[in-house]
Amino acid sequence: MRYMTAGESHGKGLSVIIEGVPSGLTIDFEQIQREMKRRQGGYGRGRRMQIEQDAVDVRGGIRHGYTTGAPISLFIENKDHTHWTQVMQAEPLEEELERPRTLTRPRPGHADLVGGLKYGHRDLRDVLERSSARETAARVAVGAIAKQLLAQLGVDIFSHVRSIGGVDAARVNPMEYRETIETSLVRCADEVASEKMMRAIDQAKQDGDTLGGEIEAVVTGLVPGIGSFTQNETKLDSRIARAVISVNAMKAVGFGDGFDLARRKGSTVQDEILHDETGYYRKTNHLGGIEGGMSTGMPIRVQVAMKPIPTLYRPLQSVDIETKEPFVAQIERSDACAVPAASVVIEAVVAFEVAASILEMFGSSTLDRLKDSVAAYKEEVRLF
C-alpha cells in the first residue's frame, strides 16, 4: 500500500492517490471529515483554519460506500485559493505583468533558500507553496482511511501532547485519559499543564514568537511480528521514524522511553518475557512495543519533537537573493503553535505505516481474506 500527494498551499487544492487498499472496506465518510476537523483544531492556530473547510471529495476507488481495490483518489479544495488565483495560476502570465507576491527573502527554518538553490527558483514562492504544512491535510485524509482499515483488525491509534514551550505534562498512561485528551484544546491529558500551555501560547503570540513541543502516538491491538529484522527498510520502527520525521517541523523521534533509555543500565530497560493462556507478553514496555524492527504485541509508543514554527511575526534576519542585501525575512500568515494539530498528523502517518506493514505481511486483495489471515496468525502465535 502506498500513496502520493500533489498540490500547493494556495493552489486549487490537494490531490491524493492511495494504492493497495483491499476491496470490501466500508468507508465512513463522516469519520474522514471528523479527522480533518481534528487537524484544523487546537489552541494557537492561525486565521487560515477559519477559511478552510477541508472537505474531502472522493473521485475514485470507492463505490456505494465500499473500496473496490482500485486506486483511491481524493481531492481537498483550498478555499483560500480565491484570494490567490492570479498568483497561483498554471497558465503563463501576460508578458507585461510581473509575478505577483514574488518571494526573494528566504525565511530561516523553512525550505525557501535551500529549495531555491536546488531547483533554480528565483521566486522562492515556488518552494514555499509545496513545502508548506498545508500538505499535511492530504496525509490526514490518507490516515483516516488507514485507521478505518486498522479498526477492522482490532488495531487502535491515538496521540496526545506531552509538552509545549517547555511546559511538561505529568507522565500518565494516556490510554486512560482518551476523553480528556480529545476535549483538550492542546490535546493534553494533564488539565493543569494544559492551562499553562495555553498561557505560554498566548504569551508567544503576543511576543510575535512561536512554540514547539513533544507529541506521543500510541498503537494498541497489534499482533507480534509486524515489520521485519531482515532489511533496514522493512523494520517497523525505521518505517515509522521516516514517516514522522517527514512531517513538517519534526526534528527528533523516539520509541518507548526514548532518549531516557540512553541514560540507564541495560538491566532496567529490557522488557522481560512472560507467558499465560493468551500467549507471550512483556512485563514492561520500555522499548515501546518494537524489538528487532518488529512489533511485540505490546502498545507501540512513538514520541516526536516538533520545533517552533519558523514563520514569525517578529521575523529574523535574512538576505535578499536578488540584491544580496540583508533584510528581515518575509512574513507569511502563520500559527503561534501547531503542536496539537501536528499530533493528529502524526497519528495519520503512523496509522498508514502500520497498515501498510500489515498488508505486506498478510498480503490480501480483499478485507475478508485479510481478516481471516490475521485471525489465523493470532491463534498460531498464541499456541507457539
Q: Residue 49: its pLDDT value, please?
A: 65
Feature table: binding site for NADP(+): 39, 45
Per-residue model confidence (pLDDT) at position 30: 96
| Distance in angstroms (rounded) separating the CA atoms of residues 280 and 278 | 7
Number of domain units in the chain: 1
pLDDT of residue 96: 67
- What is the structure's pLDDT at 384? 94
What is the CA angle 324-327-329, rounded to 5? 115
Among candidate residues 125, 124, 142, 110, the one with its CA nearest the CA of residue 6: 142
Instruction: Write down the pTM of the prediction.
Output: 0.94
Q: What is residue 329's predicted lDDT score, i.e. its pLDDT?
A: 72
Of the CA atoms within 13 Å of residue 144, those in its CB half-sphere come to 25
For residues 325-361, one letter each, b for 16 or more C-beta atoms within 10 angstroms of the residue's C-beta and e for the rest, the string is eeeebbebebbbbbbbbbbbbbbbbbbbbbbbbbbeb
Tens place of pLDDT per residue across the chain (384 aa): 999 999 999 999 999 999 999 999 999 999 999 999 999 988 877 666 667 889 999 999 999 999 999 999 999 999 999 999 999 999 998 876 778 889 999 989 999 999 999 999 999 999 999 999 999 999 999 999 999 999 999 999 999 999 999 999 998 888 899 999 999 999 999 999 999 999 999 999 988 889 999 999 999 999 999 999 999 999 999 999 999 999 999 999 999 999 999 999 999 999 999 999 999 999 999 999 999 999 999 999 999 999 998 877 777 899 999 999 998 876 666 688 999 999 999 999 999 999 999 999 998 899 999 999 999 999 999 999
Q: Are 51 and 81 in contact (CB under 8 A)?
A: no
In whole angstroms, give the CA distance from residue 7 to residue 3: 14
Phi, psi of 173 (to 5 degrees): -75, 105
Contact indicator for 249, 309 with CB cutoff of 8 Å? yes
User: What pLDDT sits at residue 143?
Assistant: 98
Helices 136-152 & 29-40 angle (0-180, nearest 10)? 140
Residue type, 252: A
Q: What CATH number corresponds to the domain at position 92?
A: 3.60.150.10
**Residue 116: domain span:** 2-382
Task: Report the alpha-carbon distance of residue 13 to residue 7 in Å, rounded.
Answer: 6
State the Rg of the chain over Cα: 22
Residue list, annotated binding site: 39, 45, 130-132, 248-249, 292, 307-311, 333
> Between helices 29-40 and 339-362, what is the axis angle to 10°?
140
Answer left, alpha or beta for residue 176, where phi above 0 means left and psi between -120 and 50 means alpha.
alpha
In this predicted structure, what is the pLDDT of residue 328? Answer: 80
d(CA 330, CA 327) in angstroms, rounded, equals 9
Q: Which of 49, 41, 37 lies closest to 78 in space, CA to CA?
A: 49
Is 107 buried (19+), middle (13-18) or exposed (0-12) by CB count in 10 A? buried
Show binding-site residues for FMN. Answer: 130-132, 248-249, 292, 307-311, 333
* Nearest of 233, 356, 377, 360 to residue 293 by alpha carbon: 233
Q: What is the pLDDT of residue 48?
A: 66
d(CA 3, CA 41): 25
Q: Which helix (H) or strand (E) holds 355?
A: helix 339-362
Other Cβ atoms within 10 Å of 38 Cβ, number:
21
